[in-house]
Amino acid sequence: MPLPDLAPEERRAALAKAAEARRTRADLKDQLKLRAVGLQTVFDRAATEDAVAKMRVTDVLAAMPAYGPVKARRLMEELGIAPTRRVRGLGPRQREALLSAFGDRS
């Protein structure tokens, strides 16, 4: 599917929106790494923020302290969560399983 032709001002607005979304996701990952926020906060923010809701769960878990891409992928396999799942696409049982897997650390 070809990209639509945008006017210069529409293109600038789209680029600014994309840059803001990347900044939001990067800030959230940094906060997770520093333990400033937990998984519940990520789930709460996903309800109102599109940038957070569209993050891959694997990326969120890999940003957790003592976790990386391999441990995140293994945990998702154990819990039966697809590797392409996004935060907004998690069901209530999947959210509960992730929260309980991290216990006090989330």
**Domains of the chain listed by start with CATH number:** 9-105 (1.10.8.50)
> Hey, how many other C-beta atoms are within 10 angstroms of the C-beta on 60?
24
pLDDT at 2 over 90: no
Higher pLDDT, 43 or 104: 43
* Cβ proximity of 38 and 106 under 8 Å: yes
> Of 102, 79, 99, 81, nearest to 90 (Cα)?
81
d(CA 22, CA 52): 10
- Exposure b/e, 11-23, CB count within 10 A at least 16 = b: eeeeeeeeeebee
* pTM for this model (two decimals): 0.86
pLDDT in tens, 60-79: 999 999 899 999 999 999 99
